Amino acid sequence: MNWELIERKTGQSLDLTDAEAVWLLERTEPSDLERLYRLAREANSRLNGRFVSFVHNMNVNYTNICDYHCTFCEFKKSADSPKAYVLRFEDIKSRMEQAEGKLSEITFQGGLSREVKFQEVLNLLSQIRSHFPDVHVHAFSPEEIHYYAVEIGEPYVEVIRRAQEAGMNSMCGTAAEILDDEVRRKICSEKISSDGWCEIIETGHALGLSSTATILFGHLEQPEHVANHFRRIRDLQRKTGMITEFIPLLFMPDQTKLGQAVDRALDRIQYAFKMIAVSRLYFMNDIRNIQTSWVKLGWDNALESLAAGANDMSGTLYSENITREAGGRNGEYVPLAQFVSEIERIGKIPVERDTLYSFQKSRYPEHQPVSSERILQ
């Protein structure tokens, strides 16, 4: 393996192999990393020009009660914890009404507990749908679909259909963690297998629901596990074409059990940049959008990671519980105007997108990017 080969392939938009992805992930020299970021930046520029998107959204974590014991999670609470909650529709409604301007999307997910039944969750979803008919509801990870399928004794397809009827518009590609069963057994042994995760996403796609795809990295995984994950996602995308974006999620070790077992000397921000860059190159021909997370990386690092191949700044995220519970230090909301002005400040063109990146269906020259003035009107 060598840089000449990688440069030739990425320059011609040829697919990288798993071994090439592993080789890139193993690079640590600053000069190598600069070279990697440059290639990823060029690939992104060919695909997305100077456009940087973001979505005006809100996370609705309908409950934090969860019976699972994923070692990376401090969001979950037991039912008898004084901090346990189950949201009522009135809570959700008032939060949504407090949002600045018009919300485009809510992400609707929760813990997995016998205390919270599928029908209750569907009722919440239906109420959201009828009160906020224009808001896109991005809902349920494959793990939730699996959990509710077991609860009601129905196949995945039926659970997804009922969720769709209640108002779900697309599926969350979360709970993927690492799609490699060796690592899954160590960090989330109660969760479905990699095959199960892919099967549920594919079932949702067959029913017309797009999804995202995520990876949780920065814990026990090795580059080979990451490459296995990438291959599963790329294979899935080649079958269905309904993955809208890839979202690398950096593990936040503070206050988690898994945090005691990870390499604390690792430069986590540098690793995050490398993950963004390698995923851009690996998915170059299949997934156009690579997201960076300001909640995980911090605002300034997230902006900087746009030079390593990312093209989406994630969401305004009016309420973000999961990362803060796990020791993340970043805030829970960035105003719309800040997205616009900061993206403009670094010489990029901000675009407020919807969940499905509809603006990419029109040709760029015809597209009207947002400007600070328009957004503040």
Contact set with ligand SF4 (CB under 6 A): 66, 68, 70, 73, 75-76, 111-112, 143, 188
Task: Pick between residue 75 and residue 132 the one whose CB is nearest to ligand SF4.
Answer: 75
Give, rounded to a whole angstrom, the gap between the first and last alpha carbons of the chain: 53
Which of 110, 109, 116, 108 has its CA nearest to residue 132? 108
How many other C-beta atoms lie within 10 A of the C-beta of residue 33? 17
In the complex, minimum distance from the CB of residue 112 to ligand SF4, in angstroms, rounded to a whole number: 5
Residue labelled with tokens 């939060």: 95
* Alpha helix segments (H runs only) across the chain: 3-11, 18-26, 30-48, 89-98, 118-131, 142-152, 156-166, 181-187, 194-206, 223-240, 268-282, 294-297, 299-305, 322-325, 336-345, 372-376
Q: How far is the CB of 70 from ligand SF4 (least distance, A)?
A: 3
Name 107's bridge partners. 59, 138
| Alpha carbon 102 to its chain's center | 22
Q: Which is nearer to ligand SF4, 107 or 301 (CB)?
A: 107
Could you give the CA distance from residue 248 to residue 296 in angstroms, rounded to a whole number?
Answer: 10
CB of 8 to ligand SF4, least distance (A): 41
- State which residue, 109 or 164, has the beta carbon closest to ligand SF4: 109
Collapsing DSSP states into helix, strand and coil, what is residue 246?
Answer: strand
Q: CA of 112: how far to CAs of 117, 128, 201, in Å?
A: 9, 20, 18
Other CB atoms within 10 A of residue 289 CB: 22
Nearest distance, CB of residue 69 and ligand SF4, angstroms: 6
Shortest approach of ligand SF4 to residue 74 CB, angstroms? Answer: 8
Between 24 and 112, whose beta carbon lies closer to ligand SF4? 112
Comparing CB distances to ligand SF4, the nearer of 20 and 177 is 177
Are 68 and 112 within 8 A, CB to CB?
A: yes
The pair phi, psi for residue 95, each rounded to 5°, is -65, -45
**Least distance in angstroms from the C-beta of 72 to ligand SF4:** 7
Among residues 86 and 242, whose Cβ is nearest to ligand SF4? 86
Minimum CB distance to ligand SF4, residue 196 (Å): 14
Residue (33 or 262) nearer to ligand SF4, CB: 262
